[in-house]
Amino acid sequence: MMSLGDGATTTKLPRSAQGRVSNTMITRLRHSPTHHMGSAKEPCTVRAQSAKPTNMTPKVLFRWVAWLLVLAIAVLTLSPVEQRPVTTAPVGLERFAAFAVTGAAFCFGYPKHRLPILVLLVGIIGCLEAAQTYVPGRHGRLPDGLVKASGALLGAALVMLVRAMAGNERNTRSGEDV
């Protein structure tokens, strides 16, 4: 214990705890010499690290990508048609591909919640098609919504197929090692 003057003391953590708390010092402020009698709580300030790691896992990355894709698609879907980017691909293929990538990203990001996520994605597609009727110069149509929904479902199905194949490959390799 070291005295800092004015009744304040600093306690240095044991060397074994220093690595876990990154050399944090615990400072206790004592207001009077009789304070440690237990009549009042001592204010204690501790600077500690977060218990959660800060590394971004692939699952978290795919979640961010999926939601950013939904945001981008919503902005492009609800903006005037003059502001929409133009490519050489057919419009139906653009819609299909955009939602196939989004469906795949959602299934990689939420592997244990595929069905609820797909229901949510189809609901988002329906809401965006309905919302287009309120944008001047745009119109929501059922065939467009079906193309988008089929793209999302195919993207999710491809992810499930890739995961199933990867699981079978792992099982085959582990069986050969035995």
Let me know if residue 53 belongs to a domain.
Answer: no
Let me know if residue 51 belongs to a domain.
Answer: no
Place of tokens 């005037």: 80
pLDDT per residue, tens digit, the chain (178 aa), is: 555 555 555 555 555 555 544 444 444 444 445 445 555 566 666 666 666 666 789 999 999 999 999 999 999 999 888 888 888 999 899 999 999 999 999 999 999 998 999 999 999 999 999 999 898 888 889 999 999 999 999 999 999 999 999 887 777 766 654 4
The reported pLDDT for the residue numbered 130 is 94
Let me know if residue 29 belongs to a domain.
Answer: yes
The reported pLDDT for the residue numbered 178 is 45
Does 27 share its domain with 110? no
Let me know if residue 95 belongs to a domain.
Answer: yes
CA dist list (Å): 65 to 60, 85, 113: 9, 20, 17
The reported pLDDT for the residue numbered 170 is 74
| Domain membership of residue 12 as a residue range | 2-45
Looking at the structure of the chain, the number of domains it has is 2
The reported pLDDT for the residue numbered 106 is 96
The reported pLDDT for the residue numbered 82 is 82
- 0.85 surpassed by pTM: no
Does 31 share its domain with 89? no
The reported pLDDT for the residue numbered 67 is 97
Let me know if residue 52 belongs to a domain.
Answer: no
Let me know if residue 50 belongs to a domain.
Answer: no
Let me know if residue 148 belongs to a domain.
Answer: yes
**Cβ atoms of 14 and 26 closer than 8 Å:** no
- Rounded CA gap, 18 and 24, in Å? 7
- Rounded CA gap, 44 and 27, in Å? 6
The reported pLDDT for the residue numbered 94 is 93
- Rounded CA gap, 29 and 157, in Å? 61
Does 99 share its domain with 128? yes
The reported pLDDT for the residue numbered 136 is 85
